[in-house]
Amino acid sequence: MRLTELLSQCALKNQRAFADLYGLTSAKLYGVALRILRRQDWAEDVLQECYVNIWNHAQNYAVQKSAPLTWMTSIVRNRCLDWLRRPQAEATGADYDIAVEAWQDDSPGPMEQLMAAGDAQALARCLQQLEGKQRQSIMLAFFHGMSHSELAGHMKQPLGTVKTWVRRGLERLKGCLSPEKA
Amino acid sequence: MRYSDPQLRDRLAAEYVVGTLRGRARARFESLLRYDAPLRRIVAEWEGRLTPLAAAAGEVTPRSRVWQGVARRIGGRTSHTRLAFWRGLAVTSTAFTLVLATFLGMAPRPELPMASVAVMADDKGQPSMVVSWPSMKDVREPHVRIKVLQEHPTMAAGTAWELWMLPRGQAAPVSMGLITTDVNQVMKIKSDVARRMGAGEAWGVAMSVEPAGGSPTGAPTGPVIFKGQCVRVL
């Protein structure tokens, strides 16, 4: 709950609280941006812009119903996806190799990391119940900012098939995570 | 597309959060979000479901220049790494500023009353930004005060927001300068623009989206997204 407190201090324009907030969250958010944008300079630009936005809009946080890190992560993810919308961002951006295979099947690495991450356990459990292709397409889209057509290219499958995997996967995730079914 | 269908709304929200909703569809969805609170709630639910995934992205410490850039843009002097040092000084700093200011003969003055104001609206007539300025005769450094009313203004990468004074008659818009995304800001303006604004020559103020660095031609080249009429209040 430390983050909530820091955010409300930021809403009061407390720069010290903001510096602490940055210290506690920037490595996480930078990791997120780096995965999606795959270029250090872009990820740095986006991160900088997002923290300025977080500072300016901290007072809006109170009205949101999400956890502070969720709120901040969504700001970064949305900005990254906006960034990829720029025409010049399409072709380039290969500083970081995508471990496409990493999310396939039941490879332990990242999934174990997720299990270890506290509040992600339920999600990790539900992800494991998905079919391999559904899981892989959701992970690639979420982590690496892949669009449907990029997914189709990477997974060497028709666009329609990939779209269905994402849609069905999300539906099943929702069902698995909903409290009535737990 | 019918955005009232609950299943469709849920699916779009999910694809928005997972990131597969792209391009114009994403932009359209975002503009819907601005006026549709229940839809925002559905998005928040999906963010709650999926964002824990981000924990598996791994942490990477950004270079210090990122923080320096942030601190500069929020107008802070806080050093993230040397915070402890400044903490000790904080207690005395207000008094110190006062003394220094008095010594330099410029005691921190109360905010000048604003003499004119332009409430700018977007193309749907929604108030989006307020620009106000003091009586230009009274100020040493001519400036305008800008307040952003919209909840989440986002400046697309590689673009800039340029403010324009719209002179009465048929004269061409005059650039006032580039603004930032800060919700509250003060922008210095050139003395000749200040003189014309002070003399009541402006009928309105507009904001356009320009390439980074501002309009290359000296006239608005991008879309004008906010516009408002000047009103003298003092």
- Specify whether the CB–CB gap between B230 and B117 falls below 8 A: yes
Q: Mind telling me how many Å the CA of B21 is from chain A's nearest CA?
A: 7
What fold is seen in the domain A2-89? Answer: Rna Polymerase Sigma Factor; Chain: A (1.10.1740)
Query: pTM to 2 decimals?
Result: 0.58
- Rounded distance, CA A29 to CA A16, Å? 19
CATH hierarchy code of domain B114-232: 2.60.40
Q: Determine whether the interchain pair A55/B56 forms a contact, defined as Cβ–Cβ distance below 8 Å.
A: no
Q: Which residues contact B202 (CB under 8 A, 6 or more apart)?
A: B118, B165, B166, B167, B168, B196, B230
Q: What is the ipTM of this complex?
A: 0.84
Of B71, B185, B169, B120, give the one whose Cα is nearest residue B177.
B185
CATH 1.10.1740.10 maps onto chain A at 2-89
- Rounded distance, CA B153 to CA B150, Å? 6
**CB pairs A-B closer than 8 Å:** 180
Record the tokens describing residue A158, joined without a space.
């028709």
Q: Which residues contact A182 (CB under 8 A, 6 or more apart)?
A: none
Phi then psi dihedrals of residue B204, to 5 deg = -160, 175
**How does pLDDT run along chain A (182 residues), one tens digit per residue?**
688 888 888 888 888 889 999 999 999 999 999 888 888 889 999 999 999 999 988 887 865 567 899 999 999 999 999 888 776 554 444 444 444 444 444 444 556 666 555 567 788 888 888 998 999 899 889 988 889 998 999 899 999 999 999 999 999 999 998 865 44
What fold is seen in the domain A100-181? Answer: Arc Repressor Mutant, subunit A (1.10.10)
Q: Determine whether the interchain pair A22/B51 forms a contact, defined as Cβ–Cβ distance below 8 Å.
A: no
Spans of all domains in chain B: 6-57, 65-103, 114-232
Closest Cβ opposite residue B181 in set A22, A53, A141: A53
The residues with which B230 forms a beta bridge, in sequence order, are: B118
